[in-house]
Amino acid sequence: MQPTATVLVYSDDANTREQVRLAAGRRPAPDVPVVEFVECATPGAVIRELDKGGIDVCVLDGEAVPMGGMGVCRQIKDEVFQCPPVLLLIARPQDAWLATWSRADTAVALPVEPVEFASALAALLRRKALVRA
């Protein structure tokens, strides 16, 4: 059986969650595990999933409503023990400073560009694998 990585995707927009799934594919790079997605449409669902454990990377939509991914990111970095790495989806490249404020591990601009997104996700999955070893 192949190893898998669990990626939490938070957005109130089903189309954004679909863009993330399609951009990542089953495996964002040949040297990382196959990914399984846990989708969340509310901040409360994100917290519940993280409390369960088993999440390898979080992808958070900075434009989500009622609470954007930047606020969720800052909250989970403060409150979740050994918080998984976070990839933040931002509306404009100029918002990168906000991603830094939120303590996201990396950020990519919306709409999701598949090659850029897959590369960023794979880098976080590699980093997570190194932390486990």
Which residue ranges make up each domain of the chain?
4-132
Between the CA of residue 51 and those of 2, 66, 80, 85, 104, what are the distances in Å? 25, 21, 8, 15, 19
The 10s digit of each residue's pLDDT in 45-88 is 999 999 999 999 999 999 999 999 999 999 999 999 999 999 99
Measuring CA to CA, which residue among 14, 8, 68, 74 is closest to residue 43? Answer: 68
What are the backbone angles phi and psi of residue 128, rounded to the nearest 5°?
-60, -40
- In the chain, the amino acid numbered 4 is T
Give the pLDDT band (50/70/90) at residue 131. Answer: low
The 10s digit of each residue's pLDDT in 15-24 is 999 999 999 9
> Nearest 5°: CA angle at 128, between 106 and 102?
30
Q: Return the structure tokens found at 22.
A: 């399609």
Query: Does residue 129 surpass a pLDDT of 80?
Result: no
Cis status of the peptide bond prior to 28, with omega within 30 of 0: no
Q: What percent of the chain has pLDDT over 90?
A: 87
Task: Please give the average per-residue pLDDT across 85-106, as a whole number.
Answer: 93
DSSP, collapsed to helix, strand or coil, labels residue 70 as helix
Determine the Cα–Cα distance for residues 123 and 92; give it in Å rounded to an integer. 21
Domain spanning 4-132: which superfamily?
Response regulator (3.40.50.2300)
* Close Cβ partners of 28 (under 8 Å, ≥ 6 residues apart): 35, 117, 118, 119, 121, 122, 125
What is the pLDDT, as a whole number, of residue 95? 86
